[in-house]
Structure 1
Amino acid sequence: MAMDGKPREGRSLSRVQPKASDLTLHQLRIFWAVAHSETLTKAAKQLGLAQPSLSQQLGKLEANIGTLLFHRRSNEMELTEAGQFLLPKVEQVLRLISDLEDGLAQFSGGERLTLRIAGINSVLRVLVPPALRHMQEYYPGLDFDLQESSPAEILDMLYSRRVNVGLLATNSVAQASVGFVQVPLVEDPHVLVVPESLVLDGVTDPERELPPDQWTMLNRSIQFIFGSQQAQRVAEWYDKLLPQHHVVAKCRSFDTAIGLVGAGAGVCLAPGLTTVQQNLTATNLRLYRVQAPPRRIVALVPSQYRRTEPYKGLIETLQSVAARHAIPGLLETPPFLSIDAPSDL
């Protein structure tokens, strides 16, 4: 209390009484995105906002609530105790709003509903087309927006609500997928992709049994680089199964790596789905199953979509398509590769 008897103006945000009417849905979505991002820069990218605008809206939200929601350390954001309390409440609000939007879409006066899907290349090429054909029969008023993206980009689009469904491998998402339901679609076996001229059927000791030129070809490895941990696991596989190999090329796309194999540059380890070329397996390749854990492909969806049509129908159709799919031309594991490989490739 001041000397004149009037209340002294508070210096702490925590003394301001929050007003629910001052809160906006836009601010809550910004808070949610920042809470699920490592930095303000990443959150701004997810939301398609300039970072100064995002910071301003976040500041307004904190002022309206009356307390700080984040500890700010350089560009890093860590939830305060108040922020930790608010986050699950905001998630409930956003889930309800999403349910409301989805429900009202049924009464949109004939306006077509767009189902937005982001996925990795191999899944979009192999599993999605037959699933979409089936969906069109049952939902003639439905159209699709398909985006080929990297796993990190898929998560960004899911968090920012730019897509409804993400299709990717579980080893790509780790704990970053908190808040989404992972629906298993298919276990995609790893294969050793070799040129057609390199015949490994029944080979027990390749150094003795293969001609010199084929032995040399077998030891030219073309490796796909996907993050430091993935690169380390792939290197361990080659060191254990092909200890005399040397790396002739590193790629950031399975398509590029498989193309190099087809040209006779070497061999590569790849998930089976990535070898399927528009309904056909390239005729200049041989595909050998290897003793390695399969790549687990999932549909990643917000929990409110899991039991809501047409998302539920799409996921069930993808599961059905995946259950019937087989990698064309897949050959049995050569004896010299029948050794347990490093886990979680």
Structure 2
Amino acid sequence: MTLSTRDLTLHQLKIFWAVAQSKTLTKAAKQLGLTQPSLSQQLAKLETNTGTLLFERRASEMALTEAGGYLLPKVEHLLRTLGEVEDGLQQFQDGKRMTIGIAGVNSLLRVLLPQALADMLDSGHALDFDILEAAPNEVLEYLYARRVKIGLLAANSVAEAGVGFVQVPLLEDPYVLAVPSSLKLEATRSIDDLSAEQQAQLNRAIQFSFGTQHTNQSIDWYDRVLPDHYITARCRSFETAMALVSAGNGVCLTPLMVAHGLDRSGVTFYRFPNQIRRIVALVPTQYLRAEPYASLIGALEKAAKGYQAPETVGAPEWLVARALG
């Protein structure tokens, strides 16, 4: 079969790239905002047009064939070049507002973004913003798909991002143990200082999960610090987790920043040394010093410097020893 470049469409190449990155048709369809049947149809047309299979269909994933592996870097280069052309031409569109896509986890969008965007608008930039709240892995998917230009997440919440992205450090956010205020741990020297009822309450773990990496880290932490714990509830909403803690249902390991600006009555936060998440802005390399992205990154750095963390209490030494062990 003779291949003509007229047989290939940009839409099909974007679909190929998304499937190669996400490894599944379901994730790729969600990433591109398409139905799965439509995506599958376009992918089949691309394989027909190229005259070869680009993916090996497996039970749980789509694996690149040798031909697909050859095509992927070519398509990545093409899409990156087209993106740079589109962004470069925007500077000549006098009178038109530029849209910047930003994706991030809830706490970072709530705490850092409002002041940063206010600074950008006050500086006279003709901008509007497309803001997507997402789990850490979804933030990466949006960046890979070029739906956003900046991602806000914890550097240790996902596997390392691929080549072409720069991590701009913003701040360090400690992990804390949220405990019902009625359960006083400050003066305890061991778990034996607590009554049987209090020990039972301390060992009821509420698992606040917002990504696979965080979930795995919290499981490991509970195993070390509270070896007799059991999971009494799982949730992805911090408001729900804190309501459960405040009502005395158990304790919850959580990043401190997620408590910022929310009702924290009835909850005490115990801090532990060396238990932090590094908050970063993840930016494609070509936008790091390009405007208006460079100004937005600067505004995010300024907002991070002005952040005031909620009040915490030092964890008792016996719990700290377990955490460090």
Q: Could you tell me which residue of structure 2 aligns to residue 9 of structure 1? A: none
- The residue aligned with 2:276 is 294
Deviations 1:183-223 (A, max 9, x none): 33222110111223333334322422x46665554333322
- Code of the aligned partner of 2:65: T
* 1:297-308 correspondence runs (5 A): 297-308=279-290
Tell me the TM-score normalized by structure 2. 0.86
1:145-185 Cα shifts (integer Å, max 9, x gaps): 22222234333333333322222223443156565443332
Residue 34 of structure 2 aligns to a residue whose secondary structure is coil
Aligned to 1:124: 109
Where does residue 222 of structure 2 map in the other structure? Answer: 238
Gaps of 5+ in 2: none
Distance (Å, rounded) in 2 between the aligned partners of 1:18 and 1:111: 40
Task: Identify which of 297, 303, 321 aligns with 1:321.
Answer: 303
2:22 match: secondary structure? coil
Equivalent-residue separation in structure 2 for 1:247 and 1:47 (angstroms): 36
Question: Judging changes above 3 Å, is the alpha-carbon distance between structure 1 residues 104 and 241 closer, same or farther for their aligned structure 2 residues?
Answer: same
Question: Which of 70, 73, 93 in structure 1 is aligned with 2:55?
Answer: 70
Give the TM-score taking structure 1 as reference length.
Answer: 0.82
Q: Supply the distance in 1 between the matched residues of 2:312 and 2:60 (Cα, whole angstroms).
A: 49
Tell me, in whole angstroms, the C-alpha distance in 2 between the residues paired with 1:61 and 1:242. Answer: 53
Q: Which of 132, 150, 167 lines up with 1:182 in the alignment?
A: 167
Gap change, CA 1:272 and 1:54, over 3 Å in 2: same
Give the corresponding residue for 2:78: 93
Distance 1:223 1:56 in 2: 40
CA distance in 1, matches of 2:37, 2:191: 61
1:239-289 deviation digits (Å, cap 9, x = unpaired): 3323444443332323311222222322211101111125xx724322111
Indicate yes or no: 2:316 matched with 1:331.
no
The alpha carbon displacement at 1:48 in A equals 2.1
**Whole-Å separation in 2 of the counterparts to 1:217 and 1:67:** 60
Sequence identity of aligned pairs in percent? 55
Query: For residue 94 of structure 2, what is the aligned residue in structure 1?
Result: 109
How many residue pairs are counted as aligned between the two chains?
325
Q: 1:225 to 1:119 in 2, by over 3 A?
A: closer
Unaligned residue ranges in structure 1 (runs of 5+): 1-15
Judged with a 3 Å threshold, the aligned counterparts in structure 2 of structure 1 residues 342 and 65 are, in CA distance, closer, same or farther, namely: farther
For the residue of structure 2 that corresponds to 1:290, the secondary structure is strand
Distance 1:96 1:228, change over 3 A: closer
Of 212, 233, 250, the match for 1:249: 233
Which residue identity is paired with 1:290? F
Q: 1:301 Cα shift?
A: 3.0
Q: 1:120 touches 1:151 (CA, 8 Å); kept in 2?
A: yes
Please provide the CA RMSD for this pair: 2.8
Corresponding position of 2:27:
42
Matched with 1:7 is none
CA distance in 1, matches of 2:274, 2:239: 20
**Contact 1:236-1:342 at 8 Å conserved across structures:** no
Alignment-mate amino acid for residue 287 of structure 1: F
Conserved 8 A contact 1:40-1:75: no
Q: Is the 8 A contact 2:168 2:280 kept in 1?
A: yes
Indicate yes or no: 2:215 matched with 1:221: no
Whether 1:275 and 2:280 are equivalent positions in the alignment is no
Q: Tell me the CA shift for residue 97 of structure 1.
A: 0.9
Q: Which has the larger radius of gyration?
A: 1
Q: 1:143 to 1:203 in 2, by over 3 A?
A: same
